[in-house]
Amino acid sequence: MMKEEVSTEDKIKAAAKKIFFKKGLEGTKTREIAQEANINIALLNYYYRSKQNLFEEIFREAIQLFYERMGAIFNDEMLTLEGKIYALVREDVEMLRSNPLLPAFIFSEVKKKPDFFVSLGLHERVRGSHFSQQLTEGIAQGKYRAITLEHLIASMAGMIVFPFLNKPLFMELKGRTDEEFDLFLEERKQIVPEILISYLTNLSK
C-alpha cells in the first residue's frame, strides 16, 4: 500500500512540475495535472486538496533543490571565494541544463507572490554563509574591491540565467544548433567566473 501511495504521489508531482513550469500557477488547470499523471481529479485532491497546495510544494522543492546544491558550496570552508565562484557557476549551469524552464517559472511566480518567496528565507541563508564571510573579510583586508553581497550574487545569477531565458532568440539570431548552445554553456562556466573574479580583484578603480 505504501509503495502504491508513494508512486501515485510521485506521478502527481512529476506531472505538476512539468505543467507548472510551462504555464505557471494561474495558467494551469487541475484537470491538466490529473490527465498528465493519468489519474482522476478526486485522487489528486485526496493527496493535495487544492492546486495551490500542490503548487507551493513544487515551488518549495524547486527552490530547495537549488539551495541544497548551492548551499553546500556557499558553506564549503575548504574552498576560497574564487573557488566557490567557479563551483557555483558550474553547478548552476548544470542544474539549469537539467531544468531549463526553472528560471522563467521562478521569475514569473516571484513577481506574483513575492511574500511567499521571502518566506523561504533564502536571503538570510546566503547572508549567513561562509561565502558572505569570505567576501566581507576580503574587502576589509583590501583583497577585494568593495561590493555588496547582493551585487555579486545578482551579477553571477544574471550572467548564468540570461542564456536560458533567451535561448530561442539566441538560437534564432545566431542560427545555432542545440549542440552549439551546449558548447556555449560550457564556455560560460569559464568566462563568467573569470569576469567576476577579475572585477573583484582589480583594485585600480
pLDDT tens digits, 114-131: 776 777 677 788 889 999
Q: What is the CATH number of the domain that holds 18?
A: 1.10.10.60
Same domain, yes or no: 98 and 147:
yes
Same domain, yes or no: 120 and 195:
yes
Domain extent for 44 = 1-49
Cα(70)–Cα(93) distance, rounded to whole angstroms?
Answer: 11
Q: What is this structure's pTM?
A: 0.77
In a domain, 54, yes or no: no
Residue 75 scores a pLDDT above 90 = yes
- What mean pLDDT is predicted for residues 146-154? 95
- What mean pLDDT is predicted for residues 92-96? 90
Answer with the residue of higher pLDDT: 30 or 138. 138
